[in-house]
Structure 1
Amino acid sequence: MSITIHPSAIVDDGAHIGEGSRIWHWTHVCGGACIGNNVSLGQNVFVGNKVVIGDDCKIQNNVSIYDNVTLEEGVFCGPSMVFTNVHNPRALIERKNEYRNTLVKKGATLGANCTIVCGATVGEYAFIGAGAVVNKDVPAYALVVGVPARQIGWMSEYGEQLDLPLHGESEATCPHTGARYALNGASVIRLSA
């Protein structure tokens, strides 16, 4: 598999780009970035030096992924969504030594125009609705929306909403795949097939 880099893109020396990845128009990848296999970076994407992007991620247009952000395998970043890396920035105060780590776990979806405030962890297969502002950790499989983001439900790995309460003991089936999920307290797991 080859790597596709559009002629208008800038990939600095030292950046690691995995096989099968595609880097589109006006994208800038800094030299310390590590990008996995089969990653798509849309138009006008910025990837900082201290960024790790796992295999099979899809980064839509106009997304900036700043230092100290890690995306695990299969993460979707919707158009114009935002990551921050400084909790309380000021133009006249240097805060590069105060960057907070942000982790987005396997299979999570970050909707268009949402904001992930630095220091948050987004759980596996969580679903962040368009325009939401995430300022705290999000559980695996959680569906969150709004400003600030609040949980309104649970999602399957396929991306279908599960018929589960927010808390308690229950089970549900993905309406598309038939996969079974169990709610235990305030967390969901996928049951073995």
Structure 2
Amino acid sequence: MNTEPLQEKPPARIHATAEVSPAAKIGAGSRIWHYVQIREGAELGENCIVGKDVYIDFDVRVGNNVKIQNGAYLYHGLTVEDGVFIGPRAVFTNDVYPRAINPDGTLKGADDWEVGPTRVCYGASIGSGAIVLPNVTIGRFALVAAGAVVTRSVPDHGLVVGVPARLVGYACRCGRRMTPQGNGYFCSVCQWTFHPEELTP
């Protein structure tokens, strides 16, 4: 029987200038920096880093060990799995049919729009200034290049660039671009081969 005392997890550290709703959940060991806003119902996992000026909208879900760099905007409808990197000024949109007003000219309210859900899967990276449109899934260890505009889903390990983003290759778990080899892709650093046909549907 193990009689060693359980180690307590370090508490989250929240900068005095950050605005974190009391109805948000912040995991142990996470660090929230200057002028961050985290709204009600949002959930942030353990050991996350949230940089200066980040906005996390209501009910957004963020996993463990996620890094969110300065000025990123994470809007309602977004789920971020464990180990994801979100670069500076990345934006996750959520309105499928964006309008300020209804057809009759009245200002749209909370019930007058349709949320498009977005998921960023385990280990994926979103480059600086990238824009992700609603109703997409970014696969495990996928890599979205800086400034890309993602309009459709990205496969596991997919490397996408441009406006709109297009698939140009595959990225290793270490983040490096893999080279084609036979019917797969090879990382010379990790000595690892990836076969796109093994992707989960």
Relative to the length of structure 1, the TM-score reads 0.90
State whether structure 2 residue 168 is matched by structure 1 residue 155. Answer: no
> For 2:183, what is the secondary structure of its paired residue?
strand
2:184 to 156, 171, 175: 171
Counting aligned pairs with the same residue, the percent is 36
The structural deviation recorded for 1:14 is 1.3
Contact 1:89 1:95 in 2 (8 A): no
Partner residue, 1:127: 143
The structural deviation recorded for 1:17 is 0.3
State whether structure 2 residue 130 is matched by structure 1 residue 114. Answer: yes
- Distance 1:95-1:136 versus aligned 2 partners, 3 A rule: farther
Partner residue, 1:137: 153
1:18 to 14, 19, 27: 27
Q: CA RMSD in A?
A: 1.6
Aligned letter for 2:171?
M
Give me the whole-angstrom Cα distance separating, in 1, the residues matched to 2:41 and 2:165: 31
Aligned letter for 2:123?
G
**Superposition misfits of 4+ residues, deviation over 6 angstroms:** none
Measured against aligned partners, the alpha-carbon deviations of 1:45-67 in whole angstroms (never above 9, x if no partner) come to 11111100000110000011111
Measured against aligned partners, the alpha-carbon deviations of 1:138-170 in whole angstroms (never above 9, x if no partner) come to 1010000000000110001111111128xxx61
2:55 to 31, 46, 50: 46
Give me the whole-angstrom Cα distance separating, in 1, the residues matched to 2:185 and 2:58: 41
> For 2:195, what is the secondary structure of its paired residue?
strand
Contact 2:60 2:78 in 1 (8 A): yes
Measured against aligned partners, the alpha-carbon deviations of 1:102-158 in whole angstroms (never above 9, x if no partner) come to 000001100000100011110111000000000111101000000000011000111
Relative to the length of structure 2, the TM-score reads 0.87
1:32 to 29, 41, 45: 41
Q: Which has the larger radius of gyration?
A: 2
Give me the whole-angstrom Cα distance separating, in 2, the residues matched to 1:136 and 1:37: 29
Contact 1:52 1:71 in 2 (8 A): yes
Contact 2:170 2:185 in 1 (8 A): no
Unaligned 5+ segments in structure 1 are none
Give me the whole-angstrom Cα distance separating, in 1, the residues matched to 2:84 and 2:133: 17
Matched length: 184
Partner residue, 2:105: none
